[in-house]
Structure 1
Amino acid sequence: MTSSRICSICPWTTRSAIAQRKGLGIWNWAGSDADIEPDLVMANAGDVPTMQALAATDLPRGYFSDLRIRLVNVVDLYRLMPDDDYDHDLSNADFDAIFTSDKPVIFNFHGYPSLIRKRVYRRDGGRHFHVRGYQEHGNIDTPLGLAIRNRIERLNLAIDAIECVPRLRAIGAYVQERIRENIARCQRFAWEEGCDPPDYAGWTGAARRAARSALGLKYAADDPVRVA
């Protein structure tokens, strides 16, 4: 975990974000808002949170096909702060264009959540941020098990996504319960086998198909993204 200005993430994600917004950017290929107003913004910073957020955008859309999720990747945390603090930061208009001014934002972070909250609280849309990050929970865990303890893995993020979108709260209880059952299954498997379930240890090809099948979702096409 680190609070450095530039987040340490995979090289291909760094290049993508810098190319779009010089430190943060919307990943159109990963979202489902298609240039229309999203229901939810899924933001991320850090290698594991980024990959888990990518996987999390897939789960609720399998149940709610009309759900519009925008995925935003951040590599320069100072871009989140108001432009009166630093010359290169985003104006409020640009910030709202990316994160919206009134839609819920789930920010998955590889450090302490307070670090993000301190950077967005003076933004107009800052009150809509729900930050997930390191909570100092952990033991001798598997990678997925540690992420579950800190609520930054794809399953808990999918539950949060359903909870944050008002129109899904009343109809999403069954889906949330099914996802919680899979969290318990992953934890039991790790306790008994000492590793993460194969269908959640990766997120590409057959692994993605198996995970979606376990959640009762239809599978559309192979995805080149892999989540460890």
Structure 2
Amino acid sequence: MAEEGFRRCFGDDTEVVFDFHGYPAAIHQLLHGRPRPDRFHVRGYIEEGTTTTPFDLLIANQVTRYHLAAEALRRLPDRVRHSIGRTVNTDHTDAGADIDALADDYERRIMASREEILRTGTDPETIREWRWTG
């Protein structure tokens, strides 16, 4: 990608959470020489152990919707964190903490899903039966 197109897509200082179907190193190689490659947080295939279910594979690779949402929330700039947090926290005491609590909730969902997979050998119903709405 030409430098101008790259900057239009990713800017020069925006934190980027990138989910890739292959090895994260392949994306890191493509980022070499680009502005601040350390701001790219690439998730992808990790060869590690065995899996029992499709969602278990996503957990092993740290690419579930919960992983990606928590990662994106934690990498929001402070000004955005507080703006989003105020929509939930109407007394504005610590609006940014609401974002951390939401990210923590996603991590708890990962652990609970993993425990259920190990216990039952199947993905949780909330994962198996989930459908796009709207």
Superposition TM-score tier, normalisation by shorter sequence: 0.7 to 0.9
- Measure how far apart 1:202 and its partner are: 4.6
Query: Aligned pair in 2 of structure 1 residues 197, 114: CA closer, same or farther (>3 Å)?
Result: same
Match of 1:182 among 109, 120, 125: 109
Equivalent residue number for residue 158 of structure 1? 69
Higher strand share: 1
**4+ runs deviating over 3 angstroms:** none
The amino acid across from 1:199 in the alignment is: T
Flag the structure with higher helix content.
2
Match of 1:116 in 2: 27
Q: CA distance change for structure 1 residues 127 and 184 in 2, over 3 Å: closer, same or farther?
A: closer
Q: Does residue 140 of the first structure (1) align with residue 51 of the second (2)?
A: yes
Specify the alignment match of 1:200 in structure 2: 127
Matches within 5 A, 1:1-228: 90-167=1-78, 168=81, 170-171=96-97, 172-205=99-132, 222-223=133-134
After TM superposition, the score normalised by the length of structure 1 is 0.48
Contact 1:100 1:125 in 2 (8 A): no
1:213 equivalent in structure 2: none
Q: Is the contact between residue 96 and residue 125 of structure 1 (CA under 8 Å) also seen in structure 2?
A: no
What's the TM-score once normalised by structure 2's chain length? 0.78
Change (3 A) 1:156 1:94: same
How much has 1:201 moved relative to structure 2?
2.2
2:67 aligned partner, one-letter code: N
Q: Deviations over 1:79-100 (max 9, x none)?
A: xxxxxxxxxxx22111111122
CA distance in 1, matches of 2:15, 2:21: 20
Q: Which runs of 5+ in 2 are unaligned?
A: 83-95
RMSD over aligned Cα, in angstroms? 1.9
2 CA distance for matches of 1:191 and 1:119? Answer: 37
Structure 1 unaligned residues grouped into runs of 5+:
1-89, 206-221, 224-228
Q: Residue deviations 1:184-219, cap 9 Å, x none? A: 1111211122111121125415xxxxxxxxxxxxxx
